[in-house]
Amino acid sequence: MSGFYRECVKMAVHTMKSNKLRTALSVLGVLIGVSALVVILSLGDSATKNIMSAFSEGGIDIITIRPQRSRNAREILNDEFASELKGRFDSIDDCIVTNSQSCSVRYLSEVSTGMVIGTYSAMSDFYSLKFDSGKWWDLEDNINSRLVCAIGSQIAENLFNGIDPVGEKIKIFYRNTAGIFTVTGVVSEVDSTASIDFDNSIFIPFNTFSSKIRRSAIVDSYIVRIKEGFDPSVESEKIEEYMSSLVSTDGFSMFSLSSLREMISKSMGTITMFIALIGGISLLVGGIGIMNIMLVSVAERTKEIGILKAIGAQPRNIEVQFLIEAVFLTLFGGSLGIALGVVLALLVAYVLVWPLSVSLLSVFAGLLFSVLVGVFFGVYPARKASRLNPIDALSRD
């Protein structure tokens, strides 16, 4: 039996070599389909990994809660609620509050715009901030509502042009008033997906913000960090359920990178599969081309089939012979498609400056689909060849 299959393989290779143009045209559809499949799955997988990596670096364990301007929310969601929230959930590592207001800031003749953020001294440790110079203001500054601030790297660059800002006084304009603040430190450039633009912000004590800029206890946002070992998505749902029991659902909004990551991951998977389906259609078209070529081959080799049957070849032998030829055609096209797909994926990744790892799934899927297409579309021509009457086949011109 093994000798028979070896002969079938030799015959398939001989047929492909003796009809090079026909072979090339017949495998073209399979080649395009498989290469599209490899490119799409590889790039889709790389894009998803890059996005997930960016989210992880930006604080996947952080949840932001924003109270809305409803009366119910104003009464409950004040700055003291952060401690209550932290005490209620074992999963919460820390919770800080922030208030924010757009502003312009001036140092001598230099002017810049940004966001003034009122928060607590714990924010520096919360985000593991580093400093180009100086430091964050301390707890005493908040208790005494002092006019001190830490500034982002871009604000420092816009105002000071290389001068060390620590100890210098800047004038912050907000709404219809202004205040003169002493700079305590410059926050190093922050590259993250956090909801705060650190580089273009000015950070002042929460009590200073409440007494000088917005004279109320209203909080703009609670920033919650989930402890390691807890699922941020699950904890986000628990916190949301608790918040809903205190205020109406329109009294607050929640945002977490973990939820956004899951949503994007699902969307990327759906998009990738949809586009891969288009590549699959190309494979089907290629399979139809293979079937047509095999039917032509059966018609051309009618006498050969008649001779084989006349000397004792069984219908099953004839069927296997033509089926192997069909599978070889699709495997040849699939192999070329994988090679082309890898090259195209690497080229696109190079242009987009993406780290790319070729998806083994795409290579395996390409080979598997090639074989399946060959079998599926090769069955009909193979059976047609096996069912030819040897007398009719030998008498046909």
Whole-angstrom distance, CA of residue 28 vs CA of residue 285: 10
pLDDT for 56: 60
Dist. CA 208–CA 265, nearest whole Å = 41
- pLDDT bucket at 263, cuts 50 / 70 / 90: confident
pLDDT, tens digit, 9 for 90 and up, residues 170-225: 999 987 788 899 999 999 988 765 678 899 999 999 999 988 887 766 788 888 88
What's residue 269's pLDDT? 75
Rounded alpha-carbon distances, angstroms, from residue 191 to 65, 134, 195, 230, 259: 22, 20, 12, 25, 20
Distance (Å, whole) CA 165 – CA 151: 9
pLDDT of residue 254: 80
Percentage of the chain with pLDDT > 90?
A: 18
Read off the pLDDT of each residue in 313-327 and give the average, rounded to a whole number.
Answer: 78
Write down the pLDDT at residue 2. Answer: 62
Across 27-36, 93-102, 274-283, least confident range: 274-283
The predicted pLDDT at position 148 comes to: 96
> Is the pLDDT at 3 greater than 80, yes or no?
no
Q: Which two structure tokens, joined as six digits, stand for 349? A: 């990744």
Contact 118, 148 (CB under 8 A): no
Average per-residue pLDDT for the chain:
81
Q: Which one of 78-92, 138-152, 220-234, 373-387 scores highest in mean pLDDT?
A: 138-152
Taking each helix axis from N to C end, the angle separating 2-18 and 315-352, rounded to the nearest 10 degrees, works out to: 60
Q: What is the pLDDT of residue 180?
A: 93
Which amino acid does the sequence have at 336?
L
- Under the banding of pLDDT at 50, 70 and 90, the label for residue 389 is low
Q: What are phi and psi of 267, to 5 degrees?
A: -65, -45
Q: Look up residue 43 and give its DSSP letter.
A: H
State the average pLDDT over residues 263-289: 77
Give pLDDT, residue 371. 82
Which pLDDT belongs to residue 258?
Answer: 72
